[in-house]
Amino acid sequence: MTEQRFTRLVSFGSALVDIMAFLPALPPRGGDVLATDALESIGAVLNIETASARMGLPTVHAGSIGDGPHSQELLKLFANEGIEFGGHTFAGKDLGFCFTMVEPDGERTFVTHSGAEAHWDSQQLANLKLRATDAVYLAGYDMVYPTSRQVLTDWLLSDPLNGAALFFDPGPLVADLAPQVIEYLRAEAFCITANEREFELMPSLATDRALFVRRLGAGGSEFWECGELRAKAPGTPVTPVDSTGAGDVHTGTLIAMLAAGKTWPEALEIANSAAAYCVQRRGGTQGPTLEQLGL
């Protein structure tokens, strides 16, 4: 199996504000339902970055923010978590919102309205030099937002990795990825990590150079190479409260564990445990430390 060490994570994903409502059931179209609870927090790529940083991997946020109150709050969170901000600030903008409805079994439904995080500066991207020892995270959302799609596509296809290991999460909008982006990722990404639905739409193929991780929720996760299942790690049985951010926590933990020299089966098992820890708590930035996992 392919092994690789990383000395830091450089994350190009988007952070936005999660507005979450916990519901007894989704309302019918045109209807209403009383929420049992609600909360607001900053999440999305922050879920990955905090998971990675708490596992001891130096982490850089290379995404965009604004100068509004939510962006200022995000900078404070970066400082508290030891995450370096290496991105671009757009004046007069602030973070977007993800409206999340969580059902009793932890399943969630989203509506996203993008903000500053979906804007990218081509010069800033050109100036950011990646190292051969970097792990790089990129999300499918950012490859399809109208305000970022072309800038990020041009940057990615310019082959900026310099030997860095690219981890890509296609996300729910995988079907909207441009064919040339998918072709590049299959050939040049180090690892593509996807949930069951995303893996069905973008499966591991015999011709791929990229490795694949398939996340199965309570069923654990799998490691694929060249269209073949190479390893599987079982999940940890828990009663979920909120599955928001569980896949992100899995990815951030997986990257940090590979950086620490763990084998794929070992890294998957720890990532599964971290995701199980996350779903027992509300909110997405619930990645544990090694100590909290008893490691």
- Report the distance separating Cα 269 and Cα 266, nearest Å: 5
Give, for all 295 residues of the chain, the pLDDT tens digit: 445 589 999 999 899 999 999 999 999 999 999 999 998 999 999 999 999 999 999 999 999 999 999 999 999 999 999 999 999 999 999 999 999 898 998 888 889 899 999 999 888 898 889 999 999 999 999 999 998 999 999 999 999 999 999 999 999 889 999 999 999 999 999 999 999 999 999 999 999 999 999 999 999 999 999 999 999 999 988 998 887 889 999 999 999 999 999 999 999 999 999 999 999 998 778 999 999 999 8
Residue 287, CA distances (Å) to 118, 145, 207 in order: 24, 27, 34
Structure tokens at 219: 């069923």
| pLDDT at site 12 | 93
Longest dimension (CA), the chain: 53
pTM summary value = 0.92
| pLDDT at site 1 | 46
The residue count of the chain comes to 295
Instruction: Answer for the pair 67, 94: CB distance below 8 angstroms, yes or no.
Output: yes
The amino acid occupying position 119 is: H
Q: What is the DSSP letter of 289?
A: P
Domains, in order of start, for the chain: 8-15+42-94+119-279 (3.40.1190.20)
Q: What is the DSSP letter of 227?
A: T
